[in-house]
Chain A
Amino acid sequence: MSALPYVFWTAFLFGLIIALAWAISKYLFAVYTGKKGRLDRLFDPIDKAIYKIIRADPSREMSGKEYFIVLLVFSAFTVALCFIILLLQGLLPLNPQHFAGLSWDLALHTALSFATNTDLQHYAGETALSYLSQMMALQFLEFTSAAIGLCAAVAVFRGFSGKFKGIGNFYYDFVRSVTRVMLPLSAIAAIVLVASGLPQTLGGYVTANTIGGGMITLPVGPVASMASIEQLGTNGGGYYGANFASPYQDPSPFTNWFEFVLMLVLVTSMPFLFGSMVGNRKEGRTLLIATYVIFGINIAIAFINFTGFGPYMEARLGAFSSVLWTAAATSTMTGSLNASLSAFSPFVIISALLGMFIQAAPGGLGGGVIYLLMYVVIAVFIVGLMAGRTPEYLGAKIIPQDVKRAVIAFISHPLLILIPLALAFSTGAAAAIGSGAVPNGYTQVLYEFASAAANNGSDFLGASANTLFFNISTGIVVWFGRFISIAIMLIIADSMSKRQRTPETGLRTDNMLFVAILVGSILLLAVLTFMPFIVLGPVLSLLQGFHAI
């Protein structure tokens, strides 16, 4: 079979995604700079009502520290609300299957995981969660965590830009992210998804007397409203244990490719928005190209030794879609899969791990582009050293303090993976769930913590990781994985917003040379830091001749 149609199809998909992302970035620019538009008549009264209820002044400038503290306190409250709902599920309404409340550690893990945009799921939704929990605990957190990603990105953009008073106000950014971006887009996508076959009902599960004489249960529920936000917000927490492999979450080729576009469109709009907000679209374009070059390399790795359809895939979606989707879901930190990781060759797993180690190609919604700017700070500094000039970015000097902070953000990632990984094997927690100290077992546990630290959420372990050790350890990792980089980048941005801008004299950052420098720096940092992780797992599996893990 010729590969050419697949190449054309992939090019068409990404062309479509980039065009849509560009158009959406215009809208996002208006949303975050307060530009007047026709939709204000609809949204302004809602926003004003919310500001009034919460008694916040959305026009007050916040420092980087205050912005972060409010963002963190808000996230902590969302965790608390979700935790309580999951714990008390058995006593609450909209529970037609009479599911009992979750154990405290599973409830806490799930709340932390969804609040950080990770969505690792140590349970299968259709056999564990009531409709109320799926909606008011999980869909709620999918909105807030996506909106927090947007807020952090926009605040960092303002600081880097230097064209704004400061980095902005959290309440302003958050409320507008929800009411003007995530809610309307998710609603439109959800309606399209229902029309094309996803269930959306609050009636209980349906028992069917099958044609062959048996009985089956149809696990319906409010599925479409979750599938839309989980993709748009790069959350990845699915309604079902099998996520998009479930035919109720991804019933047809149309829904599959539509959901694929949803997963990538908002993250791809971020570099465009950056260009608009710093007042030089070329600066956004270089970030976009760098992102997509690395993303392209990751996709290419996933397709090495492509073997076609096999077990643990879905026939209606096909092998090509499963591999491409997995590369995209692990490069965007969405983590929703439409096949099982067990289906794949070590190359797909290497691609997935690389995506989660780099976290910025394109990375999660908001979080990815922030991470990319962290790499920019490091790259500009390294080149400045080599050229013997003061490093600059967008006319502002990059001071040693910035680089120290950026390196702390970068180093925290391997530490958040390495420490719990070592603990899992030394305490016997990994062996207890059947992951031995052999390449396969190591890969499964490495993947779990890489996914947690990168706020991705795809995993090998699934409900088998519902143990005290894995619930608590990954719960801690997702929290720090999420907020260390946001805190550091907000502080760097805050400090940059106050810096004097001079006409650019140093390295130009809006041309193809800088793309090459940035891509080279990212790959070098990633390979140097993470190569040993990969060698001990999937590479060793490959050398030992295993086909699938």
Chain B
Amino acid sequence: MDIFETIKSPLILAIVIMLLCGLAYPVVITLIAGVAFPFQANGEQFTINGSVAGSYLIAQGFNASVFFHPEPANFSASGIDPTITLADAYSQVARISNATGLSESTLTGIVNNQSQYTIFFFGPKFINVVQTNLYLIKKYNAIYSKYANLSG
């Protein structure tokens, strides 16, 4: 066993691989991502009146009773799950209907339209609370404008 090969070579190899896999690789992926998929690469942010109001992928509090509410922070594993089960969404329809005057069937229809399967084409369904509330704000602006922080 050559002592140079067993001590110096592994050390230099470690430094070379650190620069290759720990720096060059993530930086190159970041550059490609920034050019090809800037919306996703920056965390799927949305803006209202020009200022960042959240991400479609991260839960945010919607306290007013006119909105669909996400799970309480510690119910999900992440604490920031923006989605709720279809059953949870249905259970909120009556409250939202009372608060907004929109009919329960209209709201149920919106929930159904927004819902997705957990396994592409079967399995339990869920809705994204952020997306669904943004849809409500856009569609029923007259009702929702006074509840939403639309000034930015």
Q: Tell me the nearest residue of chain B to A131, going by C-beta.
A: B26
A-B contact count (CB 8 A): 271
| Interface flag for A314 (CB, 8 Å) | yes
Tell me the complex Cα distance, A139–B124, Å: 34
**Is the CB–CB distance between A214 and B60 below 8 Å?**
yes
Within the complex, which residue of B6, B36, B80, B81 is in contact with A195, where a contact is CB–CB below 8 Å? B36
In the complex, A150 Cα to B73 Cα: how many Å?
A: 40
Interface string of B36-71 (1 = CB under 8 A from A): 110011111100100111110111111110010001
Question: B58, A136: Cβ atoms under 8 Å?
Answer: no
Complex Cα distance, B6 from A207, in Å, reads 49
Contacts of A395 in B (CB 8 A): none
Q: A210 is contacted by which of B7, B12, B30, B149 (Cβ under 8 Å)?
A: B149
Using an 8 Å CB-CB cutoff, how does the interface string of A326-361 with B read, 1 for contact, 0 for none? 000000000001111001000000000000000000
Q: A55-B9, A70-B5, A203-B42 are in contact. Are A5 and B78 (CB under 8 A)?
A: no
Interface string of A61-89 (1 = CB under 8 A from B): 00000100110011001100100000000
Docked pose: A311 CA to B52 CA in angstroms: 30
- Separation of A182 and B52 alpha carbons in the complex (Å): 36
Determine the interface band of chain B, counting residues with CB < 8 A from chain A.
35 or more
Interface residues of A in 238-287 (CB under 8 A from B): 240, 242, 245-248, 251, 253-254, 257
**Complex: how many Å from CA A319 to CA B149?**
34
When the two chains form their complex, are residues A340 and B77 in contact, meaning their CB atoms are under 8 A apart?
yes
Minimum CB–CB distance for A131 against chain B, Å = 9
CB contacts (< 8 Å) of A191 on chain B: these are 29, 32-33, 36
**For residue B45, which residues in chain A have a CB less than 8 angstroms away from its CB?**
206, 208, 218
In the complex, the answer to whether B51 meets A209 with C-beta atoms within 8 Å is: yes
Give the contacting residue for B13; candidates A6, A174, A216; CB below 8 A.
A174
Contacts A195-B40, A218-B55, A315-B85 given; indicate if A200 touches B29 (C-beta within 8 A): yes
Q: What's the dominant secondary structure at chain B's contact region? A: mixed
Which residue of chain A has its CB nearest to the CB of B54? A208
Indicate if B99 sits at the interface (CB-CB under 8 A).
Answer: no
Q: How far is the CB of A262 from chain B (nearest CB, A)?
A: 15
B12's nearest neighbour on chain A, judged by CB, is A54
Known A-B contacts A55-B9, A201-B43, A247-B81; A253 and B57 likewise in contact (beta carbons under 8 Å)? no
Closest chain B residue to A342, Cβ basis: B77
Q: Which residue of A lies closest to B59 (CB)?
A: A247
Cα A212 to Cα B60 with chains together (Å): 8
Output the least CB separation between A11 and chain B (Å).
13
Q: What's the nearest-Cβ distance from chain A to residue B4, in Å? A: 7
Q: For A197, give its contact among B7, B57, B117, B124 (CB under 8 Å).
A: B57
CA distance A181 to B136 in the complex (A): 47
Please pick, from B22, B53, B77, B150, the residue contacting A208 in the complex, using a CB distance under 8 A: B53
Q: Which of A220-228, A412-420, A498-506 contacts B (4 or more CB under 8 A)?
A: A220-228
User: Please, how many angstroms separate the alpha-carbon atoms of A332 and B137 in the complex?
Assistant: 45
- CB<8 Å pairs between A and B, sample of 6: A137-B22, A139-B25, A211-B148, A222-B29, A253-B118, A312-B76
A211 pairs with B137, CB closer than 8 A: yes
A53 lies within 8 A of B82 (CB): no
Asked whether A208 lies within 8 Å of B117 as measured between CB atoms, the reply is: no
Docked-complex contact B123 and A136, CB < 8 angstroms: no
Contact status of A315 and B17, CB under 8 A, knowing A199-B42, A212-B62 = no
- Indicate whether A289 reaches chain B with its CB closer than 8 angstroms: no
Task: Decide yes or no whether B119 CB sits under 8 A from chain A.
Answer: yes
